[in-house]
Amino acid sequence: MAKVAVAQMLSGENLESNLEQAALLVEQAKSEGAELLLLPENFAMLDSKALIRLAASEERSSLIERTLSGLASRNKLWVIAGSVPLLVTEDEQIGGRQRVYASSLVYDESGQRCARYDKIHLFDVDVDDQHAAYRESDFIQHGSGLTVVDSPAGTLGLSICYDLRFPEQYQALRERGAEILTVPSAFTAVTGEAHWEVLLRARAIETQCYVLAANQGGQHSATRSSWGHSMIISPWGEVIAERVESGPGIIVADIDLESLHKRRKAMPVMQHRLAAKL
């Protein structure tokens, strides 16, 4: 049995303020006995047009990564940074345009970075809200590989936000051994109200994994708001922890891998799926 925490944030355009907010949440998670904490997408800055500038600054100073490493080591806590913008190298650029990867970074309790996942599915969508249009591909280059990593709580399968709408990605993570799926997000208020919980519960049920879903929550600017409702969901699809309030805070829950594997043995959906060669 391991205790895990999920952080909800209300990140803005000020890097230092956002990092201070994240530090307080890491310390709170540690005080509540968590061994692992998930931060939301864009926790360091929620400003798409500033991502390339922020990534260039990070390449020079490593401020975000040094902060994350220090928080993990000081608190003896695994920290999963929802997404950090990292520059795409010239050799990796598609179409000759400078972009960033939206990278989920995992730090162990000693502060070592032990895993990285680059967001695959990009949110190029028109939404019926004041922001109206979201075009992540203007600033972000999609990743191309899946990542799983062993942690004290179980084997993590990493994803980010819009990935949630593509169940085949989570089936592939389960096939690679995932027991816990991480979904750091900045789901909009409109799409979140309609689809957030049902998608999270579906991914948990389909893969028989725990799902940790850290969302941004609240009004970021005059035109942008996030749904919040960060959740921890059991492999049976039960919401076992939820932050109902908007704004920053954490939720905690226990991960019971023995129960998870009993559930999988009783209903071996992966074997059935593979037998059908779908």
Number of C-beta neighbours around residue 213 at 10 A: 32
List the alpha helices (DSSP H) in 144-275.
167-175, 189-191, 197-207, 257-266, 269-275
196: three-class secondary structure by DSSP: helix
127/192 Cα distance (integer angstroms): 11
216/12 Cα distance (integer angstroms): 10
Amino acid in the structure at residue 2? A
Active site residue 242: no
Active site residue 41: yes
Active site residue 161: yes
Of residues 35, 58, 119, 136, which has the active-site annotation? 119
Of residues 35, 136, 161, 209, which has the active-site annotation? 161
196/206 Cα distance (integer angstroms): 16
Amino acid in the structure at residue 6? V
209/234 Cα distance (integer angstroms): 7
244/227 Cα distance (integer angstroms): 10
CA 151 distance to own-chain centroid: 15
By CB atoms closer than 10 A (0-12, 13-18, 19+), residue 269 is: middle
Of residues 35, 41, 179, 242, which has the active-site annotation? 41
Give me the DSSP letters along 46-101.
--GGGHHHHHHHHHHH-HHHHHHHHHHHHHT-EEEEEEEEEEPPGGG-STT---EE
118/165 Cα distance (integer angstroms): 16
Provide the annotated active-site residues. Answer: 41, 119, 161
